Amino acid sequence: MMTDFDTIIIGGGASGLMCAIAAGGRGRRVLLLERAEKVGKKILISGGGRCNFTNLNVSAENYLSENPHFCKSALSRFTPADFIALVEKHGIRYHEKTAGQLFCDGSAREIVTMLLAECRAAGVDIRTHCAVNAIRKNNRFSIETNRGTFRADSLVIATGGLSIPKMGATDFGLRVAKQFGLRIVPPSPGLVGLRLGAAEMRALGGLSGISVPAEVSCGGQSFREAVLFTHHGLSGPAMLQILNYWRRGQTITINLLPDVDLAEAISGWQKTHPKTALKTRLSEWLPKRLVRHRLAPPFDAKPVNQLSLKEIAAVTRAFQAWDISPTGTDGFRKAEVTRGGVDTAELSSKTFEAKRVRGLFFIGEVVDVTGWLGGYNFQWAWASGWCAGQFV
Ligand SMILES: Cc1cc2nc3c(=O)[nH]c(=O)nc-3n(C[C@H](O)[C@H](O)[C@H](O)COP(=O)(O)OP(=O)(O)OC[C@H]3O[C@@H](n4cnc5c(N)ncnc54)[C@H](O)[C@@H]3O)c2cc1C
């Protein structure tokens, strides 16, 4: 069994597979080590089983990082069009869902099959069920595993973030970074639902199951998507997105009627429907349960013509500037991604090699670059993997 390679990649997820394809395609002898029984497990469950594999509108603004410029180079060198070309080469049918999000028509499995076919064509040696016990570096890297010791000139860490430990996520990549003295931006769950305190939760009690389009804002960032009320807090795409920007102690503001000037609408109804109860009019726009929750007595039963200007302002605040104070999130157990990771200041944005450790590369989610919901995280994985693959 061959033990000497040009490059060893640890982690057979999106970024590791893409890096292997690029490096193998350059004629490098590549070994890819995966701890699980198969590669690409997160790809398989992604996008509800259809894999939202990229987004047509990718730009640096769709990513969070301590250095927002770091991702620009890779995103411009391997673009959504490059990944789409690969998908089309393999005859995978896809569609645009919303706002540039591309999904497979069939199944996410097609993407994994495509990546494995490309790995085969590039001569990549893939070993699954492979647990790494130790990494040593002299002139070359020496990787001790439960399946023997392997050596290579370069080592790529593509072991992803901490999200969903049940799927095999570990802090392996961060431990390797620490072993080599690289700084880490503290990790936290991203694209995750939020938790509320007991009192706030009790108040929301009857709303579970409701989903409404809304605008949510926090820390100068806003998203317009669905908000979902759950048994233990708030979720839905809008909440997952804003949680990437939320920091403990901050409030999140929900506008349930982002396309409406509510104060103006109410003064209009005072002329056209003076005797109607406010809740009747609002229930034309929002679920009745939600209207009841936001319209505290005495506003709920009052005819619109009896509302004072002060009361109209209070109602408007209740629907369009509803402040909630999360106590926490659903955690890594449910998070789609991990914020933070290996500090980008430690890495070259061109090659992904550690500036202080020759031959050591970090790609994908283990790096402090986190994308929005909507195919941005896979595009980062493909782009960072492909770029590193040109230099390993
Ligand atoms: C439920 C869910 C749905 C998602 N849907 C989407 C979506 O539709 N679109 C999108 O853009 N993003 C989506 N994401 C995010 C996306 O899956 C990740 O951002 C992306 O997979 C990161 O790629 P990666 O290669 O860095 O890590 P991963 O894909 O997580 O791959 C890491 C690999 O390393 C392996 N590994 C870990 N530790 C070791 C070790 N010690 N030794 C060997 N191997 C190891 C893991 O088993 C895994 O195979 C989703 C995430 C989740 C959890």
Question: pLDDT at residue 162 above 90?
Answer: yes
Q: What whole-number distance in Å separates Cα of residue 39 and Cα of residue 160?
A: 12
Cβ atoms of residues 273 and 304 within 8 Å:
yes
Is the minimum distance from the CB of 168 to ligand 1 under 6 angstroms? yes
Residue 167, pLDDT score:
83
* Higher per-residue confidence, 76 vs 219: 76
Is the minimum distance from the CB of 145 to ligand 1 under 6 angstroms? no
Question: pLDDT at residue 232 above 90?
Answer: no
Is 39 strand, coil or helix?
Answer: coil
Q: Which atom of ligand 1 is nearest to the CA of 169?
A: 37
Q: What whole-number distance in Å separates Cα of residue 254 and Cα of residue 236?
A: 13
Residue 303, pLDDT score:
87
How many whole angstroms from 179 Cα to the centroid of ligand 1?
22
Question: pLDDT at residue 299 above 80?
Answer: no
Percent of the chain at pLDDT > 70 equals: 99
Q: Which residues contact 376 (CB under 8 A, 6 or more apart)?
A: 55, 58, 62, 63
Chain center to CA of 170: 17
Q: What whole-number distance in Å separates Cα of residue 216 and Cα of residue 245?
A: 11
Is the minimum distance from the CB of 160 to ligand 1 under 6 angstroms? yes
How many whole angstroms from 163 Cα to the centroid of ligand 1?
8
Flag the least confident range among 88-92, 180-184, 229-233.
229-233
How many whole angstroms from 284 Cα to the centroid of ligand 1?
42
- Beta strand 141-145 with 101-104 is unpaired
Would you give the DSSP letter of residue 4?
Answer: E
Residue 135, pLDDT score:
97
Cβ atoms of residues 77 and 19 within 8 Å:
no
For residue 289, give both structure tokens.
């349960």
Return the best residue to mutate from 56, 336, 363, 369 for the ligand 1 pocket (most ligand atoms within 8 A of CB).
336
Which residue, by CA, sits nearest to atom 10 of ligand 1?
375
Span 241-258, average pLDDT: 94
Q: Which atom of ligand 1 is nearest to the CA of 12?
A: 49
How many whole angstroms from 325 Cα to the centroid of ligand 1?
30
Question: pLDDT at residue 297 above 80?
Answer: no
Q: Which domains does the chain have, with CATH numbers?
A: 4-189+336-389 (3.50.50.60), 194-257+324-329 (2.40.30.10), 270-320 (no CATH)
Residue 60, pLDDT score:
97
How many whole angstroms from 89 Cα to the centroid of ligand 1?
24
Identify which of 330, 2, 337 has the alpha carbon closest to the alpha carbon of residue 167. 337
Query: Would you state the torsion angle of the CA atoms of residues 48, 71, 32, 45, taken in this order, to the nearest 10 degrees?
Result: -10
Identify which of 249, 204, 254 has the alpha carbon closest to the alpha carbon of residue 226. 254
Q: What is the pLDDT of residues 13-50, one digit of tens each?
A: 999 999 999 999 999 999 999 999 999 999 999 999 99
Q: What whole-number distance in Å separates Cα of residue 126 and Cα of residue 158?
A: 14
Would you give the DSSP letter of residue 367?
Answer: B
Is the minimum distance from the CB of 9 to ligand 1 under 6 angstroms? no
Would you give the DSSP letter of residue 317?
Answer: H
Q: What is the pLDDT of residues 251-266, one digit of tens each?
A: 999 999 999 999 999 9
